[in-house]
Amino acid sequence: MSFVIDIASGILIALGCFFIVAGAIAMLRLPDVYTRVHGASVIDTAGAGFLLTGLMLQAGASLVTVKLVFVLAVFFFTLPVAAHALAQAALHEGVKPLLSEDRTSGDGKDQAASGRQP
Amino acid sequence: MRLVGLFGGLFLFWLALSGLFAPLLISLGVVACLLATAAVWRLNMVDREAQPLELLRGALTYWPWLVVEIIKSAWNVTKVVLHPRLPISPTMTVVKASQKTPSGIATYANSITLTPGTLTTGVSGHTLTIHALVKDGALDLESGGMDRRVSQFEGTA
Amino acid sequence: MMFAAAAMAILVALSMVVIRAIKGPTVFDRVLAGNSVGMLAILLLAVIGFLTGRPQFLDVALTYGLLNLIATLAVLKFFRHGDLAYDAEEDSKP
């Protein structure tokens, strides 16, 4: 039985590490602030979720598992707040998002060439 | 009634975090939880919005659905990012939130931000401004599947 | 063994995020990278707690997670308003 749990938690931890590294690669490769936020959210939701679930399976039914659930809750409640504040502050400062299509006004004109404000 | 529930919740939180059951520490915990409960009572924050116990039943169906959505879209973002040609098409769009209460709109905006690939950049009234990494994510949100789910979740309260 | 591999993966991701924090053209890239460094540090603390068999590290991780949010919001508020003690009513004044 413990062998099965070891295998399952190993798979979950490996998946978590995969998503964490993929999110970090996203933060390196993507072109501007708003797209990089998506990379950070891959790290903080999928990566952290899988990794901490794997650790929970290792810990079994104990207070350690409760604390891991709290850590996960902290991740899931703080990420949207931080991401939203970041996007709003960047928009307020006038950092233009690099867009291939802007559907906010409904005309869908191409803004890819507008670039970033210095 | 809500005050007793709040005290019980805080005390369970204290026990879970400390993990020590010496009489001195438990009595300290009782005093701390009583002080916190009294402070909340003085602030008049004991109401439906601060302790939405009624939402727990809806949360049992909504949160698993949200987790599945997060995993699916995280996989989509990962595919886009690891693709050698980096086929991104960043899109800004506007969606309507059909929720009635402010906390329902906040739940919807936070769910959008939690899902990798879509990000809420602004809220004004019942319209949300969304930044999406690929165009399909923006179109998905415009079709309003998540909006209906959150309204249903809000309606269970 | 499994935990050591996880710690290595987190360290690799951490180094990439630090590169972004150094390169980042705007200040918001750096704030975002700083936030992600904090999140990865929490995960690293949890994994190290299991690696060394001392789950007390999780308490540190919890506290660090709460502080990380406050730090990010404080820095963002500072760059948006140039002041931490900002009064919302100042916006409406001419």
pLDDT, one tens digit for every residue, chain B (157 residues): 777 888 888 888 888 888 777 888 889 889 999 998 888 888 877 776 666 666 777 778 888 888 898 898 888 888 888 888 888 888 888 888 888 888 888 888 888 888 888 888 888 878 888 888 888 878 888 887 888 888 887 776 5
Task: Please tell me the distance from the alpha carbon of residue B156 to that of residue C5, in angstroms, as a whole number.
Answer: 44
Task: Please tell me the distance from the alpha carbon of residue B20 to that of residue B18, in angstroms, as a whole number.
Answer: 5
User: For residue range C6-25, what is the model confidence (pLDDT) as tens digits?
Assistant: 899 999 999 999 999 898 78
Residue A109 phi, psi dihedral angles, 5° rounding:
-85, 155
Does residue C67 sit at the A interface (CB-CB below 8 Å)? no
Instruction: Please check whether residue A56 lies inside any domain of the structure.
Output: yes
Helix H or strand E encompassing C73: helix C57-81
Task: Please tell me the distance from the alpha carbon of residue C79 to that of residue A7, in angstroms, as a whole number.
Answer: 47
Interface A-B, measured as beta-carbon pairs within 8 A, has a size of: 117
Tell me whether residues C10 and A17 touch, CB distance under 8 A.
yes
User: For residue range C35-75, what is the model confidence (pLDDT) as tens digits?
Assistant: 999 999 999 999 998 888 887 888 888 899 899 989 888 88
User: For residue range A33-75, what is the model confidence (pLDDT) as tens digits?
Assistant: 888 888 888 888 888 999 999 988 888 778 888 888 888 988 8
- In this complex, the residue of C12, C14, C35 whose CB is nearest that of residue A40 is C35
Q: What is the pLDDT of residue B52?
A: 66
**Which chains pack against C, by 3+ Cβ pairs within 8 A?**
A
Instruction: Please check whether residue A103 lies inside any domain of the structure.
Output: no
| Mean pLDDT, all residues of chain A | 80
Residue ranges covered by each domain of chain B: 2-42, 55-155
**Minimal CA separation from A43 to chain B, in Å:** 9
Instruction: Please check whether residue A20 lies inside any domain of the structure.
Output: yes
Instruction: Please check whether residue A75 lies inside any domain of the structure.
Output: yes
Q: What is the pLDDT of residue A110?
A: 40
Tell me whether residues A29 and B86 touch, CB distance under 8 A.
yes
Does residue B83 contact residue B90 with C-beta atoms inside 8 Å?
Answer: no
Average pLDDT over residues A95-116: 56
Question: What's the alpha-carbon Rg for chain B, to the nearest Å?
Answer: 21
Does residue C76 sit at the A interface (CB-CB below 8 Å)? yes
Tell me whether residues A80 and B114 touch, CB distance under 8 A.
yes
- Residue C88 is classified by DSSP as G
Contacts of B116 in chain A (CB under 8 A): 38, 41-42, 45-46
Residue with tokens 């901490």: A52
Q: What is the pLDDT of residue B48?
A: 63
Q: What is the pLDDT of residue A28?
A: 87
Task: Please tell me the distance from the alpha carbon of residue B124 to that of residue C39, in angstroms, as a whole number.
Answer: 29
Structural domains of chain A, count: 1
Q: Which of B92, B94, B120, B141 to mutate to test the interface with A (most CBs of A within 10 A)?
A: B92
Q: Which of A20, A21, A38 to mutate to test the interface with B (most CBs of B within 10 A)?
A: A38
Whole-Å CA distances, A79 to A34, B5, C34, C39, C70: 14, 28, 13, 9, 12
Residue-range definition of the domain harbouring residue A87: 2-93
